[in-house]
Structure 1
Amino acid sequence: MSLSIRRRQFVAGTAALATAPLLRAQTAWPSRPIRFLVPFAPGGTSEIVARSVAAELTKQLGQSVFVENKPGGAGVVAMAEAAHAPPDGHTIILGHVGTLAVNPYMLANQPYDVNKDFVPVTLLAKVPNVFVIHPDVPAKNFREFVAYVKAHPGQLSYGSAGNASAGHLAMEYLKLVTGMFITHIPYRGTGPQLTDLLAGRTQASSAGMPALGAHIRAGKLRAIAVGTHERIPALPDVPTVQEMGYKDFETSQWYGILAPAGTPPEIVKRLQEESYKALRSSAVTERFATDNAVGGGGPPAEFAAFIAKEQKTWREIVRKAQIRAD
């Protein structure tokens, strides 16, 4: 055997040895607990969706999928951390309408590109936005509320889970179509903003049924409209905004899984398949039904197309409503 042939065999053997651990790691995924970042504080719909799915993934994968709430900067803090995490499938993040479809147009600078530094895995859920007011507001329904705000411009305030949260976007969209002037007060999560709303320190809000349902049923908050095209089963007597004369108005919260760019396709595919399975478990379907959430689970390409469509829609809304990070 010639010297050149032996050298080529040595180089090939060395390369095979070098790549073997990587291939084994990918095959054995997950080899350690998976960190599931949520860009908002505890107590909101985002955490409920993430924890419901994470619990099932933990059972299915044989490794802990632990949810870590990391609020701040309209979701930028957590997104930046996820973007720079090793692309090995052991760090994932909950993407959402604000971080993926609004921030690129609302924030001048972000330390990442949502379309280049992440790979979409799957859409987890769509959750209807519900518009609520404190019972002390002298309005029994949506039309009375709009009329009251217009008669008292700037005198009322609404809270949200933070800049670019689903509630912030929904209320700004509503302000745009109705011509209301109501002040935005961003909080660090749905929980803190609901504390002030329930105490009457703010007068209105928009969030999902997971966070609002118990308070609506207890009479502590008054639901005046929903943001979906159709009424929702949990609130059959509450009209849609579209029914109130605002044609084509639609806004909902949506959540999905993203991984850092460069995550091996086979890991992305496995994660999507396991998420699909988790979303169809009895524990998740029952919880989602209670909250009027619609489960997803489709392939990465489908989620990527959905994000692109939402970006196009919200780019126009951000421009027309002049939504800014307060």
Structure 2
Amino acid sequence: MTDLFTPAWRPSRRTAFQSLAVLAAGAASLPGWAQAPAWPQKSIRLVVPFAPGGSSEVVARSVAAELTKQLGQSVFVENKPGGAGTIAMQDIAKAPPDGYNLILGHVGTLAVNPYMLTNQPYDVNRDFVPVTLLAKVPNVLVVHPDVPAKNFKEFIAYAKANPGKLNYSSAGNGSAGHLSMEYLKLTAGFFMTHIPYRGSGPQMTDLLAGRTQVAMNGLPSVSAFIKSGKLRALAVGSAQRVAALPDVPTIAESGYKGFETSQWYGLLAPAGTPAPIVRRLQEESLRALKAGPVTERFAHDSALGVGDTPEQFAAFIAAQQKIWKEIVVKAGIKPD
């Protein structure tokens, strides 16, 4: 006999656990139930595949500083040059996909190396997940003041009349400067010798000393030297003139219609990084790009902040790969 306060049936311990499991499974399907562990809980490493001193440095450190404020954890930049960016890319491809290892991808590592290098130890489309396109940076053609060319037209004429006399430098094989100059050489039909360096820092040292004479660099790495007269700007590779150099024409308007080349930098994580973390990184990156210190620095260097979605960045990479595959083949670009 049972009273109103005594259950007529008591489940076994096993049955109770099974019931709880069923309830938990059902609840986990509801929005907001299944949450990844709180992220971030420690410092985040952002690897840059070049030596300090170039446009990649400006973009990476500007954004990393804001992300540090927003996330409450240090986002520190680690420069890891060498191998046309493959050393850094391989590092991140093998890193734990936990949101604490990121890389700054760019046109060389993502759109050119797959066609320039035959034995990459990773697949850029399989081993990484795009997070967001951070910035586009205009390229500018600069020469040492000793070069007897005062404008772009004179430079092309001099280069054609003196094949091999000029040496152009870049931050390394597969770098944006290397690719842009090979693109220009192919388009305009002249020859210069390529001198690759391990990063924009050492590249600029020799360019300023006159040991190399020409470069096609991102504006942030050369703007101060243009203003001081240590380098002469002849043309920009962007579709329109840039505000920082209003009197410098585009290559397109200088006789090569349709020519356009810019440096671009985006954030990627190892494949398998949880989707909520990727989405959070994209959202926080967009927020960082809108922060005053970043917008001011980008405006100073005529860089365009983007902050698009992972899906949009993936589509952008695919489009760039199609463009640069053709250029690599036609120009015969190979690692030196």
Of 175, 181, 195, which aligns to 2:191?
181
**1:242 paired residue number:** 252
Q: Give the letter aligned to residue 289 of structure 1.
A: A
Q: Are 1:145 and 2:183 an aligned pair?
A: no
1:116 and 1:220 map into 2 onto residues whose CA distance is 43
Bigger CA radius of gyration: 2
Report how far residue 244 of structure 1 moved: 1.3
**1:75 paired residue number:** 85
**1:301 paired residue number:** 311
1:162-241 superposed matches below 5 A: 162-241=172-251
Give a deviation string over 1:163-183, Cα, whole Å, max 9, x none.
111100110000000111000
2:19 and 2:160 map into 1 onto residues whose CA distance is 80
In structure 1, the residue corresponding to 2:229 is in which secondary structure?
coil
**1:92 paired residue number:** 102
**2:29 paired residue number:** none
Report how far residue 207 of structure 1 moved: 0.8
Closer, same or farther in 2 for the Cα pair 1:7/1:282, shift >3 Å? Answer: closer
Q: Are 1:130 and 2:144 an aligned pair?
A: no
Q: Are 1:312 and 2:322 an aligned pair?
A: yes
2:69 and 2:240 map into 1 onto residues whose CA distance is 35
Give a deviation string over 1:81-139, Cα, whole Å, max 9, x none.
00111000000000100000000000001111100100000000000000000110111
Report how far residue 245 of structure 1 moved: 1.2
Q: Give the letter aligned to residue 172 of structure 1.
A: E
Give a deviation string over 1:143-187, Cα, whole Å, max 9, x none.
111111111111210000001111001100000001110000000
Q: Give the letter aligned to residue 77 of structure 2.
A: V
2:198 and 2:18 map into 1 onto residues whose CA distance is 59
Report how far residue 8 of structure 1 moved: 5.6
1:5 and 1:240 map into 2 onto residues whose CA distance is 75
Q: Give the letter aligned to residue 244 of structure 1.
A: S
Q: Give the letter aligned to residue 167 of structure 1.
A: G
Report how far residue 27 of structure 1 moved: 3.4
2:47 and 2:162 map into 1 onto residues whose CA distance is 40
Q: Are 1:155 and 2:182 an aligned pair?
A: no
Aligned Cα RMSD in Å?
A: 1.9
Q: Are 1:110 and 2:143 an aligned pair?
A: no
**2:53 paired residue number:** 43
1:91 and 1:102 map into 2 onto residues whose CA distance is 23
Q: Give the letter aligned to residue 209 of structure 2.
A: A
2:240 and 2:209 map into 1 onto residues whose CA distance is 31
Q: Are 1:65 and 2:106 an aligned pair?
A: no
* Length-normalised TM-score, structure 1: 0.94
Range that drifts further, 128-137 or 142-151 = 142-151
Q: Give the letter aligned to residue 216 of structure 1.
A: I
Of 239, 246, 251, which aligns to 2:261?
251
1:291 and 1:195 map into 2 onto residues whose CA distance is 20
In structure 1, the residue corresponding to 2:186 is in which secondary structure?
helix
1:10 and 1:280 map into 2 onto residues whose CA distance is 46
1:12 and 1:262 map into 2 onto residues whose CA distance is 28
Moved over 2 A (4+): 1-13
1:5-24 superposed matches below 5 A: none
In structure 2, the residue corresponding to 1:27 is in which secondary structure?
coil
1:12 and 1:105 map into 2 onto residues whose CA distance is 51
1:196 and 1:226 map into 2 onto residues whose CA distance is 21
Q: Which runs of 5+ in 1 are unaligned?
A: 16-22
Of 292, 314, 329, which aligns to 1:282?
292
1:77 and 1:93 map into 2 onto residues whose CA distance is 11
1:274 and 1:215 map into 2 onto residues whose CA distance is 33
Report how far residue 247 of structure 1 moved: 1.6
Identical counterparts, % of pairs: 69
1:104 and 1:6 map into 2 onto residues whose CA distance is 56
Report how far residue 3 of structure 1 moved: 9.4
Report how far residue 10 of structure 1 moved: 9.8
